[in-house]
Structure 1
Amino acid sequence: MNRLTFYTYPSCTSCRKTKKWLKANDIHFHERHLFRETPTAEEIKQLLHMTTEGVDELIATRSVTFKNLDIDFDNLHLSDVVELLAKEPKLLRRPILTDGERVVVGHNIDALKNLIG
C-alpha cells in the first residue's frame, strides 16, 4: 500500500475522530494541515481524479466560505475550480485521506477500512 496522506484541520471534529481511529488502529499516515500545507492545483486534480462524484465530493457546500462566495460551480471550468480550491482551501471538505490511488472524504470508517484493507 502507498503511504496515506491525511489532509486535516485540527479544530475539525471529523478530522479529530478520524485521526483518533487511525492511531487506535496503528495506521501510519503523513499529516498535512489543510491551511498551512494547502494542496497544490496538481494535487487537487489528482484528488478529483480519484473521486466518484467529482467536484461535489470535495467541496464543503455548508461552509461559510462557500456561502460567501456565491459562485455557481456548475458554470465554472474545471481549471477554474481547481485554481479556486488551491487558493481557498476552506472550500475543501475534510478530512481527506488518500493512498495515491483512492480517496476518502469526510469521517467514514467503512471507507477507511476499505482504503487501508
Structure 2
Amino acid sequence: MGLFDYFSGGGSEEDKRATEIRTGAVAPTRAERQRCWEARDGYFACLDTNNIVDALKDEKAAAKACKGESAVFERDCATQWVTYFKKWRVQDIQKRARLKELEAQGANRLDVNTDFAERK
C-alpha cells in the first residue's frame, strides 16, 4: 500500500465500488441490484419474524433484532435505496391490510390492465 492509498482510504476495488454505489456516485449493475434485493428481502424477513413494520419509526428495535441483516442490507444497497425500501415496506403493508379490509366488507377485486391499447 502506497502513501497515497493510506490517506485516500485504500481498500480494494470492490470496496471502492461498493462505496460508490452506496453514495450514489455510480449506478449498480444488474448483479449488484440483485444482491441489493436479496439483502433487502433478508432484512424484511427478519423484520417480519420480529413483528416490526416500520424500521424507521422503530429504529432501535429493528437494530437490535436484525443487526446482521441490516448491516448486509446497508452494505449491498445505495443509501437512498435503503431509506426508500423501508418507507415502501410500510406503505405496502398498509395497502395490503386495506385491501383485506375492503374484501372483508364485500368489495370486489378488479383486474386492471395498465398496458396501453395498440393504436391502429
| TM-score normalised by structure 2 residue count | 0.24
Larger RCO of the pair (alpha carbons < 8 Å, separation 6+): 1
Select the structure that is richer in strand.
Answer: 1
Q: Larger C-alpha radius of gyration, 1 or 2? A: 2
| TM-score normalised by structure 1 residue count | 0.24
